[in-house]
Amino acid sequence: MRIYIKLVIIFLAFAIIPVMFVSNLVFNNSKNIIEKEILSKLSIINNEEKSGIETFFNERKQDLLLMEQLDIYKTHFRVLDQFYKDRSNPSYINARKEVDQRFAVSQLTQSYIDIKLTNIDGKIIYVFDTAFEPEIGNAIPNKDDVFQQSKNGIYVGELHKTINKRYSYNLFLAAPAYDNANKVIGLIYLELDMVKWFKFIQDNSELGKSLETIIVKKTPDNKVIFLSPLKYQQEAISAQTINIGGEYGLPAQKSALGETGSGLTIDYRGKEVLSVWLPIEDLGWGLVSKIDSEEAFLPVDRLKKLLIVVILITIFSTALAVFTIAKSISDPIQELQKGAEIIGKGNLDYQIGNDSRDEIGQLSREFDKMTKNIRETTTSLDILNKEVIERKKAEEHLNQSLKQEVKSREILLSMLADNNLIREKLEKHIEELKRAKNILIRSEKMASLGKLVSEIAHEFNNPLMIISGNAQVSLMSGPLSDEVKRNLQIIIEESQRAKNIIRRLLKFSRPSKGEVKEVDINMSIDTIVNIVEQQLKLANVEIIRDYQKDLSVSVNEQQMQEVFMNLISNAKDSMPDGGTITIKTSQEEDYLRIDFRDTGCGMSEEVKNKIFNPFFTTKEEGTGLGLIICLGIIEVHKGELKLESELNKGTTFTILLPMGDKA
């Protein structure tokens, strides 16, 4: 093997192998980071959906428990049972009016499909909605099982499809009704519209277009059935099944069997997905949240393409440099070999030497010395003259070689400069990965805090629901004094206010982009300014508008106006003695920029470092959720919220929202 080829192979190996190793390490680390982030977000979504489902059914069960306590069954139930076949009877009409009044509150607040009463034989004797009067006298499905299971508590029926165009899918709950002797005389039967509930389950798109949450249940014949519509097979609800132990739908199988877990699996379509699954023990259901791995790992695929380009550039530049270096080494050796052959044939005038200071140059000069010594002892004057001529030729050849060497070194320096550029790009990319890691750490902290807030809100919601429900029952239970009614009404209103606070906490734990449309941002800001402008004038605060014309962006306008309101309110509070708020809109490259600049008290470095922490506030009555909710809304829109502030010199909040394809 020629020394030229050996040098090329050795140099390429030492240059390319480290680049390949580093690229592979960067790719695998990035993929693992993205997988952990996606699974963490899916876990939060799954737990929130489970909490919402349990809360939904606990509220319905609480309604039934409240209905069980009404006294209408002690007087009117037997009248309804006696005359349900003759509904024109005055006694039946009067009894129905009394029952309608008692059920009106629950029906008004919860919007059930219908509230029914059945007698001990399971026949319907009363319907709240007159549209269902043809069902009076019919027996409810599976009445024996319903009566038997309702003795132990609230009975939750099976999901089924209806022929009613208004309510495609429904589900019923049942509880026993008791007489004066605490004996079961019939059932209270609630029908729920599950279509609205399906929309709540499917309202998740923050992770990607392929994100899907499904509910499943194990059937007696050891199969899994879907209880919610599928994104890709809308008609599969209550129709399509999966065999337990089969190849597809592994997350659905495991959650239906009561298992909890997450990872890279195969879904019901046979596609590879990242999924999280868990059981809903109280209902015997399973819950799965998943996203296609193809969409989840899209950033990694882009990184892979970039690394391939970097590797190809490295190989090309390294190969060019290696060929140049190898040639600069092998060519002089070949010259030595050629000169040795010529001198060996008797041509003592041939010169090999050059001005190179390396070992090869020294060797070539030693060859020349040896040739000279031989020539001085064996040649005549003519031969010496010829040697002078040949030496001049050798010098010319040497000059050409020197020029070639200089050119080769210039090429090598150019290649080294290219390598430095590649190294700078790699260092820049590593910095981006470090920044992504910091964002992931903050995301995980926010996810953990969001989960904690969600669980706390869930725990507070049940007691508030019971307090509100009992207050409503007390308000309907009979004649009360005005003071008692007023106090009960206050309890109901304050309970509702507490529920609104809990919803705000839940909104913090799970920001959602919601409905997005193209919005004229200047008009949207002016809507909020017009609302608060009178209050600002009373506080001696002036609004200065500096708008760039014809600026629009795709956002959820209601959420974005909530951000504008919060930033204007914070600016006003920072100027107790009055001042100015300047609102400026502009386009910055591919982003729409909105600046809110005040002349208030500004912030210290300590406050700026904590201002986006949840529950941190400088206000006496603040909750510390305003700015973090604003940050969550803007991040859901793939934007940025920046802060510039100097103590006693004012504060500027800057919103950057992507325009066009980035939105």
Cβ 274 vs Cβ 35: under 8 Å: yes
CA distance 341 to 134: 116
Q: If DSSP states are collapsed to H, E and C, what string results for 442-497? A: HHHHHHHHHHHHHHHHHHHHHHHHHHHHHHHHHHHCCCCCHHHHHHHHHHHHHHHH
Higher-confidence position of 381 and 417: 417
Task: Please report the beta strands in 609-649, taking only residues with DSSP state E, as ranges in sequence order.
Answer: 640-646
**Nearest CA to 325 among 402, 414, 411, 401?**
411
The pTM (predicted TM-score) of the whole model is 0.45
Higher-confidence position of 388 and 655: 655
> Which of the residue ranges 476-480, 600-604, 623-627 has the most confident prediction, judged by mean pLDDT?
600-604
The pLDDT tens digits of the residues spanning 109-144 come to 666 888 889 998 889 999 988 888 888 998 888 888
The pLDDT tens digits of the residues spanning 88-109 come to 999 999 989 988 888 887 776 6
pLDDT of 438: 47
pLDDT of 358: 65
What is residue 585's three-state secondary structure? strand
Structure tokens at 288: 């799965």
Higher-confidence position of 634 and 421: 634
What residue spans of 69-128 are helical by DSSP H? Answer: 72-83, 90-110
Q: Confidence class of residue 565 from pLDDT cuts 50, 70 and 90?
A: very high
What is the rounded average pLDDT for all residues in the chain? 79
CA distance 244 to 331: 72
- Beta-bridged to residue 155, according to DSSP, are 174
The pLDDT tens digits of the residues spanning 462-478 come to 777 778 777 777 877 76
The pLDDT tens digits of the residues spanning 277-309 come to 999 887 788 888 888 888 877 777 777 777 788
**Nearest CA to 584 among 612, 552, 556, 543?**
543
**Nearest CA to 580 among 589, 571, 592?**
571
CA distance 662 to 590: 8
Assess whether pLDDT exceeds 70 at residue 443.
no
CA distances from 274 to 266, 357, 501, 611 (A): 9, 63, 33, 34
Assess whether pLDDT exceeds 60 at residue 187.
yes
